């Protein structure tokens, strides 16, 4: 089945995330919630949607997609997803093995999986595994506030909405204690540090300070994210679970991280390594006994793809849901309820995009 069209569109939305007037925040780099959409059409007129990473870089990824990747896909077989993505990765490897080009390939990969599901008349999760969950638990992923009162207020709001897992993007212990005080102790916290600490020693000190707070994991504890030995040292001495993987560009890198004993939880990012890449990471993780919880600060096809991957996975794990309200979400019908997200049962990704908002 030949590919006849590969197009890109950007979905832009403003957003709020419950920051107070005094908040310095930590999210000023986010000008909006921008989503790069990839639309692939085949000769039979079917089309699929994908998403390439992301946020403020969408124009750059779009350029890589339109300039390099899209022309190379025309006339190729849409059903040979692995082969096509491998060809693109090899052909354009010298433009970067972890960046705009691979983000674009990931968007193509997701769109091809959506197409494959539509062609088979099956929801995507049925193509990816057998678990067939009708709903997946979600965790509220709070953006960075940097102000204890804001953290407490939004943690309380997430608990009231029914979330039973909450992630913070705070590094300040007062902010983390404020969240811990606001959420019942049985609700685990996850702490995303975004590589803030320069040394393993600093990260270990942080981990020990939060170890008694029912923390499921500390995420990306040290800079740089490829220093697996340092992450493993933090894991060995810190007394809490460690998660990482969102910044790695290919399954082999995530495999090397797991082989180094660096993580309890691996976090492949579907708009950076595609559905095919996440499947490969799941297989590696099973070998190393590591849990798989995809990185998913997404609102478009990347969110749906992660949802289907979790619906199909052998072990139930929560879906990351960014705790932000978009003025124009790509999928207005996709709303977490009481801490769960229903898995669409239509073919492919299973949900229609709000195409009105596309530019
Ligand atoms: Mg993270």
Q: Is 169 helix (H, G, I), strand (E, B) or coil?
A: coil
Q: What is the pLDDT of residues 89-106, one digit of tens each?
A: 999 999 999 999 999 999
Report the chain's mean pLDDT, rounded to a whole number.
95
Residue 10: both structure tokens together: 């950007």
Task: Kindly state whether residues 321 and 252 are assigned to the same domain.
Answer: yes
Task: Kindly state whether residues 80 and 205 are assigned to the same domain.
Answer: no
Task: Kindly state whether residues 203 and 339 are assigned to the same domain.
Answer: yes
How many angstroms separate the alpha carbon of residue 295 from the centre of ligand 1? 7
Task: Kindly state whether residues 268 and 296 are assigned to the same domain.
Answer: yes
- End-of-domain residue from the set 62, 91, 121: 121
How many angstroms separate the alpha carbon of residue 194 from the centre of ligand 1? 6
Query: If pLDDT is split at 50, 70 and 90, which confidence band does 354 have?
Result: confident
Task: Kindly state whether residues 258 and 305 are assigned to the same domain.
Answer: yes
How many angstroms separate the alpha carbon of residue 117 from the centre of ligand 1? 29
CATH of the domain at 64: 3.30.390.10
Residue 248: both structure tokens together: 């790695």
How many angstroms separate the alpha carbon of residue 269 from the centre of ligand 1? 10
Task: Kindly state whether residues 66 and 131 are assigned to the same domain.
Answer: no
How many angstroms separate the alpha carbon of residue 47 from the centre of ligand 1? 31
- End-of-domain residue from the set 101, 121, 141: 121
Residue 19: both structure tokens together: 């920051």
How many angstroms separate the alpha carbon of residue 73 from the centre of ligand 1? 31
CATH of the domain at 288: 3.20.20.120
Q: Please count the residues of the chain.
A: 359
The parent domain of residue 220 ranges over 126-357
How many angstroms separate the alpha carbon of residue 219 from the centre of ligand 1? 6
In angstroms, how far is the first alpha carbon of the chain from the final one?
A: 28
How many angstroms separate the alpha carbon of residue 131 from the centre of ligand 1? 26
Distance of CA 116 to the CA centre of its chain: 21
How many angstroms separate the alpha carbon of residue 109 from the centre of ligand 1? 22
Q: What is the pLDDT of residues 161-203, one digit of tens each?
A: 999 999 999 999 999 999 999 999 999 999 999 999 999 999 9
Task: Kindly state whether residues 158 and 273 are assigned to the same domain.
Answer: yes
Residue 234: both structure tokens together: 């933090």
Task: Kindly state whether residues 143 and 225 are assigned to the same domain.
Answer: yes
Q: What is the pLDDT of residues 46-79, one digit of tens each?
A: 999 999 998 999 999 999 999 999 999 999 999 9
- State phi, psi for 256 to the nearest 5 degrees: -65, -35
- End-of-domain residue from the set 121, 147, 171: 121
Q: Specify whether the CB–CB gap between 75 and 3 falls below 8 A.
A: yes
What is the CB neighbour count within 10 angstroms for residue 75?
10
- The beta-carbon contacts of 65-70 under 8 Å, at least 24 apart in sequence, are 65/6, 65/8, 65/36, 65/38, 65/104, 65/107, 65/108, 66/8, 68/92, 68/95, 68/101, 68/104, 69/6, 69/101, 69/104, 69/105, 69/108, 70/6, 70/7, 70/8
How many angstroms separate the alpha carbon of residue 220 from the centre of ligand 1? 7
Q: What is the pLDDT of residues 133-154, one digit of tens each?
A: 999 999 999 999 999 999 999 9
Total domains in the chain come to 2
Task: Kindly state whether residues 282 and 326 are assigned to the same domain.
Answer: yes
Neighbours of ion ligand 1 (CB under 5 A): 192, 219
pLDDT for residue 222: 97
- 338: buried, middle or exposed (CB in 10 Å: 19+, 13-18, 0-12)? exposed
Task: Kindly state whether residues 111 and 162 are assigned to the same domain.
Answer: no
User: pTM of the predicted model, to two decimals?
Assistant: 0.97
pLDDT of 125 above 80: yes
């Amino acid at each position: 089945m030949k590919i006849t069209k590969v197009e890109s569109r950007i979905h832009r939305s403003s957003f709020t995330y419950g920051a107070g007037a005094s908040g310095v925040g930590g999210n000023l780099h986010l000008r909006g919630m921008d989503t790069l959409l990839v639309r692939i059409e085949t000769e039979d007129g079917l089309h699929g949607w994908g998403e390439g990473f992301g946020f403020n870089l969408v124009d750059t990824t779009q350029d890589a997609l339109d300039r390099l990747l899209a022309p190379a896909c025309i006339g190729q077989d849409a059903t040979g997803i692995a082969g096509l993505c491998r060809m693109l990765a090899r052909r354009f490897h010298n433009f970067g093995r972890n960046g705009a080009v691979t983000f674009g390939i990931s968007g193509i990969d997701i769109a091809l999986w959506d197409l494959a599901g539509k062609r088979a008349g099956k929801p995507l999760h049925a193509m990816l595994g057998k678990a067939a969950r009708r709903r997946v638990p979600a965790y509220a992923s709070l953006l960075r506030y940097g102000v204890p009162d804001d953290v407490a207020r939004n943690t309380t709001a997430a608990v009231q909405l029914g979330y039973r897992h909450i992630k913070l993007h705070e590094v300040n212990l007062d902010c983390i204690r404020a969240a811990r005080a606001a959420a019942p102790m049985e609700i685990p916290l996850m702490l995303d540090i975004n590589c803030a600490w320069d040394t393993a020693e600093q990260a270990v000190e942080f981990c020990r300070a939060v170890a008694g707070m029912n923390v499921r994991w500390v995420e990306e504890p040290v800079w740089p994210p490829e220093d697996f030995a340092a992450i493993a040292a933090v894991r060995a001495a810190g007394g809490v679970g460690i998660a990482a993987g969102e910044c790695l560009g290919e399954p082999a890198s995530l495999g090397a991280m797991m082989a180094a004993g660096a993580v309890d939880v691996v976090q492949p990012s579907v708009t950076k390594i595609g559905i095919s890449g996440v499947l490969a990471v799941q297989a590696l993780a099973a070998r190393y006994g590591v849990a798989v919880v995809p990185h998913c600060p997404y609102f478009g096809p990347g969110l749906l793809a992660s949802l289907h991957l979790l619906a199909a996975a052998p072990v139930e794990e929560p879906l990351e849901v960014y705790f932000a309200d978009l003025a124009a979400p790509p999928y207005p019908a996709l709303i977490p309820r009481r801490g769960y997200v229903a898995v669409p049962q239509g073919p492919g990704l299973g949900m229609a995009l709000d195409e009105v908002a596309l530019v």
